[in-house]
């Protein structure tokens, strides 16, 4: 185990040591920083350096403090920060200043996210630019473009096997175009979100090639072993993530050649996990991160955060050092690219998801529990697990926010807590089996048209793929499906945080029937829900009575209402017991009023009694129809319907 304090200076507290060390590094940085930037240009940098570098020092020491070259490594990091600041474009420095004065900007009810693959949605970066008018029509303020970097030909895990963080896949465009696109998006009020795939690189990244060629310096960038001995020890406790690709966590460096070495590859065999016990890796990736920040990226989606630290005898997921490294990355941004936010991608147990969310770590996080339990409620017609999650697991520290989504580009995994479920009389193991059967159409009476993913006969594990429309039965029964689709989105739009749409879902895009025809995708069922942009569906989005028009119109309306109601700002949520097992209830407080959200998951109309609503003054206003309601009479909610009612609590 590494020491937890930096070397030297006996008798000084950790904080004071950090201050002394900061002072040393600051002097070095002052002397050696780029001269191109005039002295006045360093003012903000120096202020932020003084504020955040001591924290960075402590974090860095937690992981690397035992090393003799600790101070050198830290000084190099300081110099990297200065270089990045010197290169940071002026418009981004102006943005930094604006965000510093409005740090809660991303919790605003104005926020709306969209995510897409550049090639599938628009061909290339130019095509994305041409979609800006549509993004504005939809109301986007946040656009996540899936990985668009140079990657191996054929299967590249949808770009998550990055061969260079500084080169855009030439089929999509160039880095200059990306930087220009980020400015263009910003001019239209849209923040660019990109992945920071920092757990692994592709096996074609220069570091990986040099490691494969036997250069020790680069072998030390990865977890490479001469034979199976150590891998076997690790695999006793690690989880298989892509068992269809390879069992365990390691693969051979070269599949065909006589090379006995094994390399850690949590995901695909061509994605090699970086070795963060080596500070050179942290520094190298810091440079890549700050380079991306300089292209105008405003949110970095921190990919696969749970896996970045490994330790023998553990599951090698969500270890304390993973958090330390994220905080250290965060501190770097606070100094040299302060407007950049992190979004955590931890699709793990809800206790673990929460540990990544804090202003000094990841300010944003996917909300995989709410996502999964929305689907759970759709299948069971009883939102009790979802209600429990909203009550017990929704609250977040100030300065952070959820990203609420109905589905993403990945599979749906049932990441709820077995203990939570047990308290409601639900057996987690059996329930997951039911949910998998339901969504892969193996359960009698299921409306879902989904596909299993990474079914593991050894462990019984399985996840689900499909577009929102297909999983909710649009092809079979459009009437009910449209309502279900809007109901699912109503949850993501109203619980608080940034709602995130998988672009195409807002016009009811169905599964891609041809997904398996591409040999590079055939082994990965997630491609069933990543079809190309549905041109025909988009053309019909203004036809009032078409399926597409009803979904698009319904979602647009929610976006507008959300924007118009100040109660939807921020994350505060108060549970509301509807005393009807099919109806989910929660309140969004704001000033003297609240929005009461009621969502009926059953296939029949449901009633919430006047007595249940008697804590409010009798008059309520439903936002959708702008209709006045007398709550004393109770409320009848249509099958798969939802109501957003402005109410005044009785004093
Ligand atoms: C993340 C991505 C997923 C990818 C994996 C490996 O989980 O969302 O698509 O397969 O990381 O990079
Ligand atoms: C696993 C990982 C998650 C990733 C997914 C990709 O569930 O925990 O991070 O997104 O695999 O399929």
pLDDT at 594 over 70: yes
Residue 444 lies in a domain: no
Residue to probe by mutation, ligand 2, list 146, 343, 413, most atoms within 8 Å of CB: 413
| 229, part of any domain | yes
d(CA 464, CA 526): 8
Question: What's the average model confidence in pLDDT over 499-509?
Answer: 98
CATH number at residue 121: 3.20.20.80
Query: Whose Cα sits closest to atom 8 in ligand 1?
Result: 410
Element (H, E) at 600: strand 593-600
- Is residue 347 lining ligand 2, measured as CB closer than 6 Å? yes
pLDDT tier, 8 (very low <50, low <70, confident <90, very high otherwise): low
Q: What is the pLDDT of residues 377-396, one digit of tens each?
A: 999 999 999 999 999 999 99
The answer to whether residue 8 is domain-embedded is: no
Q: Are 115 and 257 contained in the same domain? A: no
Average pLDDT, the chain: 96
Give the mean pLDDT of 485-507: 98
Quick check: CB of 527 below 6 Å from ligand 1?
Answer: no
423 occurs within a structural domain: no
> Same structural domain for residues 483 and 600?
no
Both 237 and 353 in one domain: the answer is no
Dist. CA 303 → ligand 1 center (Å): 7
The overall pTM is greater than 0.85: yes
The preferred substitution site among 196, 303, 521 for testing ligand 1, maximizing ligand atoms within 8 Å of CB, is 303
Ligand 1 touching residue 267 (CB < 6 A): yes
Do 140 and 209 fall into the same domain?
Answer: no
Q: In angstroms, what is the span from residue 160 Cα to ligand 1's centroid? A: 6
**How many domains does the chain divide into?**
4
- pLDDT over threshold 70, residue 60: yes
pLDDT tens-digit series, residues 256-311: 778 999 999 999 999 999 999 999 999 999 999 999 999 999 999 999 999 999 99
Residues 253 and 316 in one domain: no
Is 419 domain-assigned? no
Whole-angstrom distance, CA of residue 136 vs CA of residue 115: 14
Residue to substitute in 347, 454, 461 for testing ligand 2 pocket (most ligand atoms within 8 angstroms of CB): 347
Tell me the sheet residues that pair with 252: 262
CB 364 within 8 A of CB 341: yes
Handedness of CA 250, 253, 259, 261 (dihedral sign): negative
Cα-only R_g, the chain: 25
In a domain, 461, yes or no: no
Task: Determine, yes or no, domain membership for 434.
Answer: no
For residues 404 and 491, membership in a common domain is answered with: yes
| Statement to judge: residues 155 and 73 lie in one domain | no
Q: Which of 564, 597, 614 is the last residue of a domain?
A: 564
Distance in Å, CA 562 to ligand 1 centroid: 31
- Over the stretch 400-431, which tens digit does the pLDDT of each residue have? 999 999 999 999 999 999 999 999 999 999 99
Residue 455 lies in a domain: no
Distance of CA 227 from the midpoint of ligand 2 (Å) = 27
640: domain CATH number is 2.60.40.1180
Tell me the percentage of the chain whose pLDDT exceeds 70. Answer: 99
Residues labelled as active-site residues? 303, 345
How far, in Å, is the centroid of ligand 2 from the Cα of 392? Answer: 24
The model's pLDDT over 507-528, given as tens digits with 9 standing for 90+, comes to 999 999 999 999 999 999 999 9
C-alpha–C-alpha distance, residues 430 and 621, integer Å? 42
Per-residue pLDDT for 3 more than 50? no
Which residue puts its alpha carbon closest to atom 3 of ligand 1?
Answer: 410
What is the length of the chain?
Answer: 651
DSSP 146: P
Of the bound ligands, which one is closest to the alpha carbon of residue 353?
A: 2
| 411 in contact with ligand 2, CB cutoff 6 A | yes
| Res 150 pLDDT > 90 | yes
Residue 175: what pLDDT? 98
Q: Which of 251, 273, 295 is the last residue of a domain?
A: 273
Same domain as 214, residue 289: no
For ligand 1, say whether the CB of 524 is within 6 Å of any of its atoms: no
Tens of pLDDT, residue by residue over 449-473, are 999 999 988 887 899 999 999 999 9
Is it the case that residue 531 has pLDDT exceeding 60? yes
Cα separation of 388 and 368, whole Å?
15
Q: Whose Cα sits closest to atom 7 in ligand 2?
A: 347
State the greatest distance between any 2 C-alpha atoms of the chain, in Å, as a whole number.
Answer: 78
Q: Are residues 224 and 293 in the same domain?
A: no
Please tell me whether residues 485 and 403 are part of one structural domain: yes
Over 90: is that where the pLDDT of 4 sits?
A: no
Question: Among all ligands shown, which has an atom nearest to the Cα of 238?
Answer: 2
pLDDT of residue 1: 42
Confidence grade of residue 221 (pLDDT, cut at 50, 70, 90):
very high
CATH number assigned to the domain comprising residue 225: 3.90.400.10
- Nearest ligand (C-alpha, residue 316): 2
Together in a domain, 339 and 308: yes
> CA dist 265 to 199, 308, 324, Å?
10, 11, 22
Same domain for 294 and 391, yes or no, is yes
Res 587 pLDDT > 60: yes
What was the pLDDT predicted at 82? Answer: 98
pLDDT-derived band of residue 7, with 50, 70 and 90 as boundaries?
A: low
Distance from the CA of 510 to the center of ligand 1, in angstroms? 22
Distance CA(502)–CA(409), nearest Å, equals 7
User: What was the pLDDT predicted at 14?
Assistant: 86
Q: Which atom of ligand 2 is nearest to the CA of 526?
A: 12
pLDDT for the residue 457: 82
Of 56, 87, 118, the residue at which a domain comes to its end is 87
Q: Is the CB of 410 under 6 A from ligand 1?
A: yes
Domain of 216, in residue numbers: 202-273
């Amino acid at each position: 185990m590494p020491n937890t304090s930096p070397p030297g200076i006996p008798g000084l507290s950790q904080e004071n040591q950090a201050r002394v060390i900061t002072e040393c590094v600051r002097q070095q940085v002052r002397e050696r920083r780029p001269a191109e930037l005039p002295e006045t240009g360093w003012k903000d940098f120096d202020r932020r350096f003084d504020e955040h570098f001591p924290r960075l020092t402590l974090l860095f020491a937690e992981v690397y403090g035992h090393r003799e070259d600790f101070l050198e490594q830290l000084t190099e990091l300081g110099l990297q920060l200065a270089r990045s600041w010197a290169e940071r474009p002026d418009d981004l420095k102006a943005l930094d200043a604006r965000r510093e004065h409005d740090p809660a900007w991303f919790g605003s009810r104005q926020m709306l996210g969209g995510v897409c693959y550049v090639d599938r949605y628009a061909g290339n970066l130019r095509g994305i630019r041409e979609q800006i008018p549509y993004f504005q029509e939809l109301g986007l303020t946040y656009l996540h473009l899936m990985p668009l970097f140079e990657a191996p030909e054929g299967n590249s895990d949808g770009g998550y096997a990055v061969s260079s963080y500084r080169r855009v896949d030439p089929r999509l465009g160039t880095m200059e175009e990306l930087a220009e696109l980020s400015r263009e998006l910003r001019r239209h009020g849209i923040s660019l979100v990109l992945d920071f795939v920092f757990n692994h690189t592709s096996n074609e990244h220069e570091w990986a090639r040099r490691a494969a060629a036997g250069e020790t310096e680069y072998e030390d960038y990865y977890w490479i072993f001469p034979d199976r001995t150590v891998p076997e020890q690790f695999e006793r406790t690690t989880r298989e993530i892509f068992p269809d690709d390879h069992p365990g966590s390691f693969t051979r460096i070269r599949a065909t050649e006589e090379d006995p070495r094994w390399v850690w590859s949590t995901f695909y065999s061509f994605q090699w996990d970086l070795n963060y016990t080596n500070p050179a890796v942290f520094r190298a990736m810091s440079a890549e991160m700050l380079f991306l920040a300089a292209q105008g990226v405003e949110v970095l989606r921190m990919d696969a955060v749970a896996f970045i630290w490994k330790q023998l005898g553990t599951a090698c997921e969500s270890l304390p050092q993973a958090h330390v490294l994220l905080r250290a990355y965060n501190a770097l941004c606070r100094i040299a690219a302060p407007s950049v936010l992190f979004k955590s991608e931890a699709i793990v147990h809800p206790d673990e998801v929460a540990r990544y969310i804090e202003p000094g770590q990841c300010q944003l996080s996917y909300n995989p529990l709410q996502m999964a339990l929305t689907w759970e409620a759709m299948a069971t017609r009883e939102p009790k697990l979802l209600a429990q999650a909203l009550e017990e697991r929704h609250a977040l520290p100030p300065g952070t926010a959820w990203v609420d989504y109905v589905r993403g580009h990945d599979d749906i995994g049932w990441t709820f807590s077995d203990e939570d479920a047990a308290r409601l009389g639900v057996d987690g193991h059996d329930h997951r089996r039911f949910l998998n059967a339901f969504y892969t159409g193996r359960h009698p009476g299921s409306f879902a048209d989904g596909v299993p993913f990474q079914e593991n006969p050894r462990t019984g594990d399985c996840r689900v793929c499909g577009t929102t429309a297909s999983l909710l039965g649009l092809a079979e029964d459009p009437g009910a499906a449209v309502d279900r689709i809007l109901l699912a989105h109503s949850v993501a739009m109203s619980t608080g945080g940034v709602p995130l749409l998988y672009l195409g879902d807002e016009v009811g895009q169905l599964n891609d029937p041809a997904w398996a025809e591409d040999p590079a995708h055939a082994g990965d069922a997630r491609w069933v829900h990543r079809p190309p942009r549905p041109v025909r569906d988009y053309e019909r989005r203004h036809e009032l009575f078409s399926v597409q028009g009803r979904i698009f119109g319904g979602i647009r309306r929610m976006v507008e209402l959300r924007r118009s109601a100040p109660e939807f700002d921020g994350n505060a949520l108060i549970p509301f017991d509807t005393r009807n097992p099919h109806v989910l209830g929660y309140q969004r407080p704001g000033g003297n009023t609240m929005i009461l959200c009621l969502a009926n998951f059953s296939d029949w109309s449901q009633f919430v009694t006047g007595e249940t609503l008697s804590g409010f003054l009798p008059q309520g206003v439903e936002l959708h129809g702008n209709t006045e309601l007398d709550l004393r009479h109770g409320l009848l909610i249509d099958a798969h319907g939802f109501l957003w009612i402005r109410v005044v609590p009785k004093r």
